[in-house]
């Protein structure tokens, strides 16, 4: 199913249900955990590990019925990951801390009264705002040789990520799904906890070479927040 079809379904449900609308505003914050999905099996003694970060999010929720609603939740999210060397090169790593601005657009469904279960699905657009890269790499000029045993000293780096206009695709889109629990504290206030998964469908790199190995962000978030009912 294409993203276009998903978008059309969401718009259709929005239009037919909008007459009975309730509107919530809210915010939430939490942690993210991202991994870069790519293929590095050709690279010796190398693994990609997930890395934690943060998420802060604003919410706009529009109820179309007692069950269905749409949600727009602009957020700032970190999509971090670490490339680590293993075996004799253990200790060598490069950690990428990437910050994205995202705009998810989701269709949700609620079940329950005061305590509600909810789940949502939709798509999102993202923009890679900034990055930081740090790590330790063997310094080739530091090599020492004792009885034909080469030893390198590690050199540390920690600096802002330099975007490359040919290489880096700063725009991201994908699908998002989440589920959680809501609790109505009062008529107007609701608190919630939320687990969410973002799957990028766009390569983190522009298509700049033949046989390019794509890289996709896969991000879990866990957050909590509250919502305020604007319109009864």
Partner 1 sequence: MRFLKYVLTITFYVIIFSSCKKNIQSPSKTIFPKTFSEIFNVFWNNMNTNYVYWDIDTTNWNNVYNVYKPAFAKLDINNPNDVQQSVIYFRQMTAGIIDSHYNISFTASSIANKVVFPALDRKLLNPTFHSPFLYTSIDTINYIDENYISGNFISTSNKESIYALSGTIHNNILYFYCNGFALQEAYQSRSANSVQSVLKYFFNTLANLSPRIKGIIIDVRNNSGGNIEDLNFFLGRLIVKPLQFGYTRYKSGNGKLQYTPWINASVLPQTGAKAINIPIIALADNYSISLAEAITMAIHAMPNGTFVGETTWGATGPITNNSIYNDGQFTVGDFLSVYTSSAEFKYIDGKSYEGKGFPPDINVPYNFNLLYNGIDVQLEKAINLIK
Kindly list the residues in this chain that would bind partner 1 in the complex (CB under 8 A). Answer: 1, 6, 37-46, 67, 83, 89, 94, 109, 111, 119, 121, 133, 135, 137-148, 150, 152, 155, 157, 159, 162, 164, 166-167, 175, 177, 199, 201, 205, 208-216
Residue 100 or 175 having the CB closest to partner 1:
175
Residue 8 or 185 having the CB closest to partner 1:
8
Shortest spacing between CB 29 and partner 1, in angstroms: 25
Give the integer Cα–Cα distance in Å for 20 and 74: 24
Yes or no: say if 70 and 106 are a contact pair by the CB < 8 Å rule: yes
| Phi and psi at residue 207, to the nearest 5° | -80, 95
Give the 3-state secondary structure of residue 217: strand
Shortest spacing between CB 218 and partner 1, in angstroms: 9
Yes or no: say if 197 and 222 are a contact pair by the CB < 8 Å rule: no
223 membership: H or E segment, kind and range: strand 216-231
Shortest spacing between CB 122 and partner 1, in angstroms: 10
Shortest spacing between CB 31 and partner 1, in angstroms: 23
Residue 49 or 185 having the CB closest to partner 1:
49
Is 132 buried (19+), middle (13-18) or exposed (0-12) by CB count in 10 A? middle
């Amino acid at each position: 199913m294409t993203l276009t079809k998903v978008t059309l379904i969401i718009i259709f449900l929005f239009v037919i249900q909008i007459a009975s609308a309730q509107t919530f505003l809210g915010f939430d914050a939490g942690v993210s955990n991202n991994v870069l999905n790519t293929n590095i099996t050709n690279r010796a003694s190398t693994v990609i590990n997930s890395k934690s970060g943060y998420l802060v999010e604003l919410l706009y929720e529009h109820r179309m019925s007692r069950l269905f609603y749409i949600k727009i939740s602009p957020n700032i999210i970190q999509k971090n990951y670490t490339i680590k060397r293993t075996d004799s090169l253990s200790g060598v790593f490069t950690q990428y801390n990437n910050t994205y601005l995202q705009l998810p657009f989701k269709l949700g469904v609620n079940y329950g009264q005061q305590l509600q279960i909810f789940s949502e699905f939709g798509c999102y657009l993202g923009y890679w705002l900034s990055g930081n890269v740090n790590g330790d790499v063997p310094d080739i000029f530091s090599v020492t040789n004792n009885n034909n045993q080469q030893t390198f000293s590690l050199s540390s780096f920690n600096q802002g990520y330099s975007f490359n206009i040919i290489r880096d695709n700063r725009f991201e889109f994908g699908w998002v799904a989440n589920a959680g629990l809501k609790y109505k504290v009062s008529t107007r206030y609701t608190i919630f906890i939320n687990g969410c998964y973002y799957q990028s469908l766009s390569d983190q790199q522009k298509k700049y070479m033949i046989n390019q190995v794509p890289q996709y962000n896969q991000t879990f978030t866990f957050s909590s927040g509250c919502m305020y009912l604007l319109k009864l």
